[in-house]
Amino acid sequence: MYQEIILDHYRNPHNKGLREPHDGEAHHINPTCGDEVTLRVTLTPSPENALDGSATVSDVSYDSMGCSISQASASVLTDLLIGKTVDESMRVLDEFTEMMHSKGVGEPDEDVLEDAVAFVGVSKYPARIKCALLAWMAWKDATVQSMQSEPRGGGDGLEGAS
Amino acid sequence: MYQEIILDHYRNPHNKGLREPHDGEAHHINPTCGDEVTLRVTLTPSPENALDGSATVSDVSYDSMGCSISQASASVLTDLLIGKTVDESMRVLDEFTEMMHSKGVGEPDEDVLEDAVAFVGVSKYPARIKCALLAWMAWKDATVQSMQSEPRGGGDGLEGAS
Amino acid sequence: MTERELGLLDAEKLREDFEILSRTVRDGRPLVYLDSGATSQKPRQVLDAEREFYERHNAAVHRGAHQLAEEATDGYEAARATIAAFIGAQANEVVFTKNTTEAINLVAYAMSNSATAGEEHARFRIGPGDEVVVSEMEHHANLVPWQELCRRTGATLRWFSVTDEGRLDLANLDELVNERTKIVALAHQSNVLGTVNPVRTVIAKAHEFGALVLLDAAQSVPHMPVDVRELGADFLVFSGHKMLGPNGIGVLWGRPELLAAMPPFITGGSMIGVVYIDSATWADPPQRFEAGVPMAPQAVGLAAACDYLSAVGMENVRAYEHALTGYALKQVGALDGVRIIGPVDGEARGGTISFVVEDIHPHDVGQVLDDQGLAVRVGHHCAWPLHRRYNVVATTRASLYLYNTFADVDALVEGIKAAQRFFGTGPGA
Amino acid sequence: MTERELGLLDAEKLREDFEILSRTVRDGRPLVYLDSGATSQKPRQVLDAEREFYERHNAAVHRGAHQLAEEATDGYEAARATIAAFIGAQANEVVFTKNTTEAINLVAYAMSNSATAGEEHARFRIGPGDEVVVSEMEHHANLVPWQELCRRTGATLRWFSVTDEGRLDLANLDELVNERTKIVALAHQSNVLGTVNPVRTVIAKAHEFGALVLLDAAQSVPHMPVDVRELGADFLVFSGHKMLGPNGIGVLWGRPELLAAMPPFITGGSMIGVVYIDSATWADPPQRFEAGVPMAPQAVGLAAACDYLSAVGMENVRAYEHALTGYALKQVGALDGVRIIGPVDGEARGGTISFVVEDIHPHDVGQVLDDQGLAVRVGHHCAWPLHRRYNVVATTRASLYLYNTFADVDALVEGIKAAQRFFGTGPGA
Ligand SMILES: Cc1ncc(COP(=O)(O)O)c(C=O)c1O
Ligand SMILES: Cc1ncc(COP(=O)(O)O)c(C=O)c1O
């Protein structure tokens, strides 16, 4: 289960460290082991200035404490979702969640999941699924929150993410 | 277990029906089946006018609702204890209790228990032991109560029992 | 008539799965087990499933990251799904308890605990002026916990009567269930009368007033198809040991939104969110209500029992028991000096037959039956108020299950006659 | 060194009784089970006893008058006597619960219930101004129920600290235990640190003020001789599944005069004196606390576990585990980059060894160990406040029992080294 990609992200996490500005933030804890993640999302409204599925996830940053799987999964998440629309991101989330519950059977969609397919092996270890999903669940909460926030005006998001 | 003696006492119970006067009364219920007994004891003080172990159990009467074993056991009790001193009666009680917990092994003392030896077979049926003991436990309570009551004066007891 | 004629269920064949049914009692008499209402016997398949768990997969569930712990957790959660499906529910709506009794106490204590729990549990608060409704035919398990809830909170206990025929008396339904009613706790099937109650009527009335309804299904789930969505209750409880499953496991089913709004009952490990030295938060249901290392092997055993019953088919179980009960009501009911306490017709009633034999105390009836190898129950069957209602101290109860035969009923009838002969009562005495 | 040199206990021989210990995991690795602190494995003798009950004597105990019911009741009560004797108690002082967690909740709820119970239960009343004392090293099972008791009653929770070395800090004993203290609830042996607490000192102080003491003996009764009269506590609780017994059964031992003065917790059948429709009275202990059809087969299984442990000899179990633990502390403690959380010397501690491996998360340590067939536990082990105290989110825990060998400890050491190599940390990285 410890694919090289996972270990790489674990050793050199991307986008770690909380950043400003942000539209939504979520703090999730894994009650069975105490692992924690705080994750922030910044959205850029669509050209129509809507904070809906067509908005862009312009930044994701996080701070976390946890095992290799939870750390690497947070890092891969940021790589995958930054720059995608909310709708596209939710599709990735669904695909990732489904893979995590696949018990290692079935073919994850590599086009959608990219590096995240490395986590397919984790799905064979039920006790670790929560680790892999921790950041994703936090991302979902933070994004829903962001969509309910006041749009900070076009462009801000991208600037903030730089 | 249904010895002829038991069935006889069941069909023709002795001393059934509550009588006056009495020094102590106890009401016992068997919580597993709801059987009930109300039992009264009258004591006659010893020649020294003491209501202690040397007092005489001058009357026992009861009212009850229950199975053949509990009915017969109450009836046999009255036959055995009326006329004995409290000390002697307590010895019979101890002997009876011991026999009921003997699981049918050991020789009950026929000199002490007389007709009550017929209950030795009941001791092999744990669920029925409580039935056999119900009146005896009530007698013990009522007697302890009687000993704490005010002596009603010599003779009264015996008159009352007539 | 033999059960073969039903063509639905081959009791003789099923009996082979129950080792204990081939034993003898009291000097070599074949056992005739007529006490399944108290607890059922367990087929080999159930005992094997439990043993296999211990010998292959035993570990603390939800607590380890090693292979055994994973297998144990999988087994436990798969069992939950099987048991949930057996009553038409989703897995996350099923809470494991040690028995029906704990499941009822869980709901009753959640209600009193909500007084000091957060606002999110306000839905369950209860206090002076509020009412709890039960019935005269409840098992103590579905009566005393509500008496105690009322004592703790100052709420008032009210109850349905039963009719002379052994049916729930709905005459004062409109008066009993009203805007003060917080919860109605009712037997789905009586463990004494056999009566199957018209629970839909009561549920509909209770829901008019936003009251909750808990069904004590300890005697129904083992004997008939039960679908919680169809019934429409809010909570439903039952025990594993009465439905071919192991002892030490019971089930609380609850509507998910209600479980989510309920504060916990027993607290400790595995039911928490975060724990600080002076405060804690709760996990989501069902975990919130399952503190401590659970009875995973028993859950696996109960799931095997559900599989066993499903393979026979619960419709077949019901139909077979219905036929058997009809026969027993007729045969026992025809005896002189025998009075059945409960409905004498087979409609809306299960295979529990309680009766009194004139001039013979139930203890004595039971004893004579026992001497002939028949295992029945005597006493008040944990339904003392119901017995008081019928002016009897105790009854003799024969309770049937899928492994009983028409020959068992015949043996019962012969046994009752023998008791009458022995005590010189009844016909011919 | 091998265990043979001890001449006390032949672990290799005992292992033959545990079918599961000969299985393999993860692609054919022999199982090395180091998670007995979570739950123990069960010997054949225990599983056989339980099965024999089901196949020969199964019936509802204390509820029937037929032969099976008598045999079941005898088996259940004989089991109670055996288990009581195992801890130096009388049978009537032993209450069966489903686990340690329920046993602790039973006492905590009895205390809050006494507010609305009769005067005869006044001894257990607790309210604002009163104090409950626990420690920072408690398992959630012996912490959260007391938090909740305080929430229900307005009493105040206080706690002992632990020292850097993993010992109970008694520095403020005089201040913590005082005339306001109603009950002290304390682990006899910590499930994380392994520490055996100086309970006699605490008990003596508590009794000066008439406060009750409950010992959480879930981790001590399985591993050392325990005599309740010698200890002098008021209540003592433990679980069957951690001492070779079945799941689904636990024990509350209590001083008889205290049990007699306690109002009930779970109410229902078999725990009553008389029941009316609107009120009820209680049976004497232990029945008062055992509502519903109990887990008789599990009680019989637990008695068989006690017999098994007694045959080995609890002094031998303690001595053997002491030697094994000493070896493990030395070997694991000697590893670079490994820090043991808990006493590093073997005195007054049991065979539970929790540790952190520098720069490797416990989940990852556990995973690498699991890949080699080693079953350990990772996480906070239901002792979150304790982990916070040591500034760690989680630890890896190896817990030993009588069937573990010195070779198991060697495998653990090799496993930790492998994890360090894999993650490129530790010596040589
Ligand atoms: C010290 C201690 N107390 C209490 C418990 C709770 O035991 P159970 O989960 O069997 O109720 C445990 C084990 O989980 C424990 O180790
Ligand atoms: C109708 C009914 N409710 C509740 C119970 C209690 O079940 P348990 O003793 O398994 O908790 C029983 C059986 O004893 C019952 O028949």
Whether the link from the prior residue into D225 is cis, omega within 30° of 0, is no
Q: State in Å: Cα D305 to ligand 2 middle.
A: 29
Give the residue from C192, C305, C183, C160 showing the smallest Cα distance to C235.
Answer: C183
pLDDT at position B114 over 70: yes
Summarize pLDDT for D123-165 with one digit per residue, the tens: 999 999 999 999 999 999 999 999 999 999 999 999 999 999 9
What is the CATH number that goes with domain B2-147?
3.90.1010.10
For residues C197-225, one letter each, b for 16 or more C-beta atoms within 10 angstroms of the residue's C-beta and e for the rest, the string is: bebeebbebbbeeebbbbbbbbbbbbbbb
pLDDT at position C426 over 80: no
What is the end-to-end Cα distance of chain B in Å, rounded? 34
pLDDT confidence of residue B50: 86
Summarize pLDDT for D78-133 with one digit per residue, the tens: 999 999 999 999 999 999 999 999 999 999 999 999 999 999 999 999 999 999 99
Summarize pLDDT for C121-131 with one digit per residue, the tens: 999 999 999 99
Residues of chain A found within 8 Å of residue C273, distances taken between Cβ atoms: 29, 31
pLDDT at position D305 over 50: yes
Summarize pLDDT for A98-146 with one digit per residue, the tens: 999 998 888 899 999 999 999 999 999 988 999 999 999 999 999 999 9
Q: State in Å: Cα C333 to ligand 1 middle.
A: 53
Strands in C338-341's sheet, in edge-to-edge order, are C338-341, C352-357, C395-399, C377-379
CA-based nearest residue in chain D for residue C374:
D66
pLDDT band at C3 (very low <50, low <70, confident <90, very high): very low
Chains B vs A: touching, with 3+ CB pairs under 8 Å? no
Say yes or no: CB of residue D218 within 6 Å of ligand 1.
Answer: yes
pLDDT band at C428 (very low <50, low <70, confident <90, very high): low
The fraction of chain D above a pLDDT of 90, given in percent, is: 95
Give the residue from A139, A140, A135, A1 showing the smallest Cα distance to A70.
Answer: A135
Say yes or no: CB of residue D187 within 6 Å of ligand 1.
Answer: yes
pLDDT band at A161 (very low <50, low <70, confident <90, very high): very low
> Does C361 lie at the interface with B, CB-CB under 8 angstroms?
yes
Residues of chain C found within 8 Å of residue A126, distances taken between Cβ atoms: 70, 73-74
Summarize pLDDT for D374-399 with one digit per residue, the tens: 999 999 999 999 999 999 999 999 99
Residues of chain A found within 8 Å of residue C64, distances taken between Cβ atoms: 127
pLDDT confidence of residue A103: 87
| Rg over CA atoms, chain B | 15
Query: Which residues contact residue D424 at a Cβ distance below 8 angstroms, ignoring those fewer than 6 apart?
Result: none
Catalytic residue among C184, C376, C382, C402: C382
pLDDT confidence of residue A152: 62
CA distance C245 to chain D (A): 11
Alpha carbon distances (Å) from C406 to B100, C10, C175, C401: 38, 12, 44, 11
pLDDT confidence of residue C255: 98
Q: State in Å: Cα D12 to ligand 1 middle.
A: 27
H helix intervals, C144-195: 144-153, 173-176
Q: State in Å: Cα C87 to ligand 2 middle.
A: 18
pTM of the model: 0.95
pLDDT confidence of residue C419: 97
* Pairwise CB contact (< 8 Å): A32 & C69: no
> What number is the average pLDDT over the span C324-347?
97
* Pairwise CB contact (< 8 Å): A126 & C70: yes
- Tracing tokens 């039911």 back to the chain, one arrives at C271
Chains that touch C (3 or more CB pairs under 8 A): A, B, D
Say yes or no: CB of residue C293 within 6 Å of ligand 1.
Answer: yes
Q: Is residue D282 within a helix (H) or strand (E), and if so which, with residue range?
A: strand D280-282
Average pLDDT, chain B: 90
* Pairwise CB contact (< 8 Å): D64 & B127: yes
Q: Give the residue whose CA is nearest to atom 15 of ligand 2.
A: C218
> Does C387 lie at the interface with B, CB-CB under 8 angstroms?
yes
On whether the CB atoms of residues C210 and C201 are closer than 8 A, the answer is: no
Residues of chain D found within 8 Å of residue A70, distances taken between Cβ atoms: 363
Summarize pLDDT for D197-206 with one digit per residue, the tens: 999 999 999 9
DSSP state of D92: G
Summarize pLDDT for B137-156 with one digit per residue, the tens: 999 999 999 999 876 654 44
For residues A111-121, one letter each, b for 16 or more C-beta atoms within 10 angstroms of the residue's C-beta and e for the rest, the string is: ebbebbbbbbe
Average pLDDT, chain A: 90
Query: Which residues contact residue D156 at a Cβ distance below 8 angstroms, ignoring those fewer than 6 apart?
Result: D129, D130, D131, D132, D150, D180
Say yes or no: CB of residue C127 within 6 Å of ligand 1.
Answer: no
CA distance A113 to chain D (A): 24
- Tracing tokens 């839909």 back to the chain, one arrives at C200
Q: ipTM higher than 0.85?
A: yes
Residues of chain C found within 8 Å of residue D148, distances taken between Cβ atoms: 113, 264, 267
Q: State in Å: Cα B6 to ligand 1 middle.
A: 53
Summarize pLDDT for C364-410 with one digit per residue, the tens: 999 999 999 999 999 999 999 999 999 999 999 999 999 999 999 99
* Pairwise CB contact (< 8 Å): B127 & D70: yes
> Does C379 lie at the interface with B, CB-CB under 8 angstroms?
yes
Query: Which residues contact residue D284 at a Cβ distance below 8 angstroms, ignoring those fewer than 6 apart?
Result: D260
Summarize pLDDT for D6-45 with one digit per residue, the tens: 557 999 999 999 999 999 999 899 999 999 999 999 999 9
CA distance C20 to chain B (A): 21
* Pairwise CB contact (< 8 Å): B31 & D283: yes
- Nearest residue, CB atoms, A127 vs list C69, C274, C283: C69
Give the residue from C270, C282, C318, C286 showing the smallest Cα distance to C79.
Answer: C286
Q: For residues D215 and D252, give the distance between their C-alpha atoms in angstroms, rounded to a whole number.
A: 10
* Pairwise CB contact (< 8 Å): C62 & A32: yes
Q: For residues D106 and D98, give the distance between their C-alpha atoms in angstroms, rounded to a whole number.
A: 11
Say yes or no: CB of residue D395 within 6 Å of ligand 1.
Answer: no
